[in-house]
């Protein structure tokens, strides 16, 4: 696996065996902020602002480099929001790879330091990153994931269907979405006719949202 500098200056990793980047080559941080932070977290909080919520729970499918988590944790830290975050990752990156991403420039220094220190432990035990922010990484396949917790948002960040078709099929999507609260939000960088049909079939209303640079559209869906 090799590091690649993307169009916005931030790094991502190119996985040669799979043939895909972990994040968009058009801008790793830019994509993460657009797809997951803005179209996912901020959208959910806007929809629930009348409920005076000050907490949110997120399930990420495809934890990867941890970029989506770091940006989300930093936002919640700045806004004094309580965050419970669980990532699913069948093939965790080595700690040394995580430390070479350069993502410490994107978040509070104390958050990055805690993240780096806790990364290996988070694979087996929930960790406390900062005030009101807890996180863990489920080191298993998506279909093997189980939890008593129900989540407000799903960040679906698996590799593209052309490389990992099983991640985008009915079985996997129905399974991970069973952990989402009613009214919860599902967001992903991709949008295809098959994905839209599956999400509708398992009880979601779907929306074509503007995509990050390099993609015209993305999918956002709400569990009804």
pLDDT digits (tens, 9 = 90+) for 122-145: 999 999 999 999 999 999 999 999
Q: What are the pLDDT digits (tens) for 156-167?
A: 999 988 889 999
- How far apart CA 208 and CA 189 sit, in angstroms, is 11
* pLDDT of the residue at 125: 97
Contact 157, 36 (CB under 8 A): yes
Average pLDDT, the chain: 94
Q: What are residue 97's phi and psi, to 5 degrees? A: -65, -45
Query: With 80 as the cut, is the pLDDT of residue 51 above it?
Result: no
* pLDDT of the residue at 199: 98
Q: How confident is the model at residue 44 (pLDDT cuts 50, 70, 90)?
A: very high
Mean pLDDT confidence for 185-194: 96
CA distances from 215 to 40, 189, 208 (A): 17, 8, 12
What CATH architecture is 27-223? 3-Layer(aba) Sandwich (3.40)
**SS3 of residue 193 by DSSP:** helix
Q: How many residues does the chain have?
A: 224
DSSP code for 10: -
- How far apart CA 37 and CA 182 sit, in angstroms, is 20
Domains of the chain: which residue ranges?
A: 27-223
Contacts of 108 (CB under 8 A, 6+ apart): 74, 77, 78
Here the tokens at position 1 are 């696996």
Half-sphere exposure in the Cβ direction for 215 (13 Å, CA): 23
Other Cβ atoms closer than 10 A to 78: 10
Strand ranges across the sheet with 20-21: 2-5, 11-15, 20-21
- What is the pTM (predicted TM-score) of this model? 0.95
Mean pLDDT confidence for 20-33: 92
Residue with tokens 């009348």: 50
């Amino acid at each position: 696996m090799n590091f690649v500098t993307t169009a916005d200056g931030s790094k991502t990793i190119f996985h040669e065996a799979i043939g895909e980047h972990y994040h968009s080559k058009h801008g790793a941080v830019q994509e993460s902020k657009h797809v997951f932070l803005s179209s996912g977290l901020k959208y959910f909080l806007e929809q629930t602002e009348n409920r005076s919520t000050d907490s949110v729970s997120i399930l990420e499918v495809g934890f990867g480099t941890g970029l989506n988590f770091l940006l989300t944790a930093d936002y919640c830290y700045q806004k004094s929001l309580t965050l419970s975050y669980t990532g699913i990752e069948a093939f965790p990156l080595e700690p040394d790879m995580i430390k070479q991403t350069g993502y410490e420039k994107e978040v509070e220094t104390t958050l990055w330091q805690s993240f780096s220190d806790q990364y290996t432990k988070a694979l087996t035990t929930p960790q406390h990153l900062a005030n009101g922010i807890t996180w863990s990484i489920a080191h298993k396949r998506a279909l093997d994931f189980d939890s008593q917790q129900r989540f407000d948002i799903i960040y679906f960040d698996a590799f593209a269907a052309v490389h990992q078709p099983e991640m985008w099929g009915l079985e996997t999507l129905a399974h991970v979405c069973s952990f989402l609260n009613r009214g919860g939000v599902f967001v992903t960088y991709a949008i295809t006719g098959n994905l839209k049909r599956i999400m509708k079939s398992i009880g979601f209303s779907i929306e074509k949202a503007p995509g990050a640079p390099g993609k015209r559209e993305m999918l956002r869906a709400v569990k009804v």
